[in-house]
Amino acid sequence: MTRLEVKKTYKLYIGGDFPRSESGRTFEVADAKGRFLANLAKASRKDARDAVVAARKASPGWAGRTPYNRGQILYRVAEVMEGRRDQFIAELQQSEGVTVAKARTYLDAAIDRWVWYAGWCDKIAQVVGGANPVAAPYFNHSTPEPSGVIAVVAPQGPILGLVSVVAPLIATGNTCVVIASQQFPVPAITLAECLATADLPGGVVNLLTGDHAEIAPWLASHMDVNGIDLTGVTDPELARSLEEGSAENLKRVRRPAAEDLLETPALDRMTQFLETKTVWHPIGI
């Protein structure tokens, strides 16, 4: 007799916990062949609100970690993912219907991306900040600081896409509320499990699954969100209205744009959500 598989209940990831949607709603996700794969939690505006609260709460602590420590944790995420290779590959195949080889390529790139950004944590400040040679007797120095809480509409690529948008944000000390790929949300939850076991403090990354068009406007208009990354928004009209909504508290907005995720990233995913702080002090005796 074959053993009956124990199936996983897919939930949201908020504040380090895995709650169901407060709304009690779920939505069906099918595999590449159209067969039922799982019921996923369908996040509501209140889940989004809770996620923002969690992200805000985690913000000072995460921004205050030493960059070295953040780098260690990002690297740890890569380690944990590495240990779950088979699961990720299976999920990618199942969700997207890609070949093993292709799934492996994307997974490798995703894991390596964590390593890439892990290394950036304690270098970005030197690259984008520094001394400013002012024409007066002042110490004048600029350093980057995280913008705060960033809302993210993740792109469809279930793992590489998600990692490519989340890793640069948390590498620089931001915390985030991410709406996972609407089409392929399952691997995102597995990634959340990796984050939760990689010493990443609860609330630094909050992951919602559900309908982009339903949740994203609440995040765009949320006055306690400092920036929004619209990478995963495919409908130009939705992108426009989200950007418009974001203007209310002058969120930093990253517009959707085509990019090759397999390429080595530029710095802009980090710098887009960094603030430059310039400190002056007189030099005297």
Partner 1 sequence: MTTVVHKDNLDVAEVTRSESSLRRFLHGLPGVDQVGAEARVATLGTRSIKTTAKAYALDLAIRMVDLTTLEGSDTPGKVRALANKAMRPDPADPTCPQVAAVCVYPDLVAVAKETLGKSGVKVAAVATAFPSGRAAMDIKLADTKDAVEAGADEIDMVIDRGAFLAGHYLSVFEEIAQTREACGDAHLKVIFETGELQTYDNVRRASWLAMMAGAHFIKTSTGKVQPAATLPVTLVMLEAVRDWHEATGQMVGVKPAGGIRTSKDAIKYLVMVNEICGEDWLDPDWFRFGASTLLNEILMQRTKMQTGRYSGPDYFTLD
Partner 2 sequence: MTKFDYAPAPESRSIVDIKSSYGLFIDGEFVDGNGKSFKSISPSSEEVLAEISEASEGDVDRAVKAARRAYTRTWSRMSGRERGKYLFRIARIMQERSRELAVLESLDNGKPIRESRDVDVPLAAAHFFYYAGWADKLSYAGYGSDPKPLGVAGQVIPWNFPLLMLAWKIAPALACGNTVVLKPAETTPLTALLFAEICQQADLPPGVVNIITGAGDTGRALVTHGDVDKVAFTGSTDVGRMIAKSVAGTNKKVTLELGGKAANIVFDDAPVDQAVEGIVNGIFFNQGHVCCAGSRLLVQESVADEVLARLKRRMKTLRVGDPLDKNTDVGAINSAEQLAKIRELSDIGEAEGAGRWSPPCELPQNGFWFPPTIFTGVTQAHRIAREEIFGPVLSVLTFRTPKEAVEKANNTPFGLSAGVWTDKGSRILWMANELKAGVVWANTFNKFDPASPFGGYKESGYGREGGRHGLEGYLR
Residue pair 115/171 in contact (Cβ under 8 Å)? The answer is no
Q: With respect to partner 2, which residue has the nearer C-beta, 32 or 53?
A: 53
- For 258, half-sphere exposure in the C-beta direction (CA atoms, 13 angstrom radius) is 0
In sequence order, the β-bridge partners of residue 29 are 38
Interface pick for partner 2 out of 4, 136, 258, 285 (rule CB under 8 A): 136
Distance CA 131, CA 133 (A): 6
Q: Is 4 in the site for partner 1 (CB under 8 A)?
A: no
Q: Is 235 in the site for partner 2 (CB under 8 A)?
A: no
Distance CA 261, CA 110 (A): 9
Sign of CA dihedral 145, 147, 149, 151: negative
Q: Is 140 in the site for partner 1 (CB under 8 A)?
A: no
Q: Smallest distance, Å, CB 39 to partner 2?
A: 35
Q: Smallest distance, Å, CB 64 to partner 2?
A: 8
C-alpha distance from residue 78 to each of 27, 34, 83, 259, 271 (Å):
29, 31, 9, 23, 22
Q: Is 135 in the site for partner 1 (CB under 8 A)?
A: no
Q: Is 282 in the site for partner 1 (CB under 8 A)?
A: yes
Distance CA 45, CA 56 (A): 16
Q: Smallest distance, Å, CB 71 to partner 2?
A: 19
Distance CA 78, CA 140 (A): 37
Nearest-5° Cα angle at 12, 176 to 68: 40
Q: For 197, phi and psi rounded to 5 degrees?
A: -105, 10
The partner in contact with residue 258, picked from partner 1, partner 2, none with C-beta cut-offs of 5 to 8 angstroms by kind, is none
Report the Cα–Cα distance between both ends of the chain, in Å, rounded: 85
The partner in contact with residue 246, picked from partner 1, partner 2, none with C-beta cut-offs of 5 to 8 angstroms by kind, is partner 2
Q: With respect to partner 2, which residue has the nearer C-beta, 49 or 255?
A: 255
Interface pick for partner 2 out of 1, 135, 258, 285 (rule CB under 8 A): 135
Token pair 């007797």: residue = 137
What lies within 8 Å, CB to CB, of 18 at 6+ separation is: 11, 12, 192, 196
The partner in contact with residue 137, picked from partner 2, partner 1, none with C-beta cut-offs of 5 to 8 angstroms by kind, is partner 1
Interface pick for partner 1 out of 18, 27, 75, 138 (rule CB under 8 A): 138
The stretch among 40-48, 132-140, 202-210, 231-239 that binds partner 1 (CB under 8 A) is 132-140
Interface pick for partner 2 out of 252, 259, 261, 265 (rule CB under 8 A): 252
Residue pair 92/107 in contact (Cβ under 8 Å)? The answer is yes
Q: Smallest distance, Å, CB 14 to partner 2?
A: 24
Q: Is 284 in the site for partner 1 (CB under 8 A)?
A: yes
Q: With respect to partner 2, which residue has the nearer C-beta, 53 or 128?
A: 128
Contacts with partner 1, residue ranges (CB under 8 A): 136-138, 282-285
Q: Which residues bind partner 2 (CB under 8 A)?
A: 127-128, 132-136, 138, 140, 142, 147, 226, 236-237, 239-241, 243-244, 246-250, 252-253, 255, 266, 271, 275-282
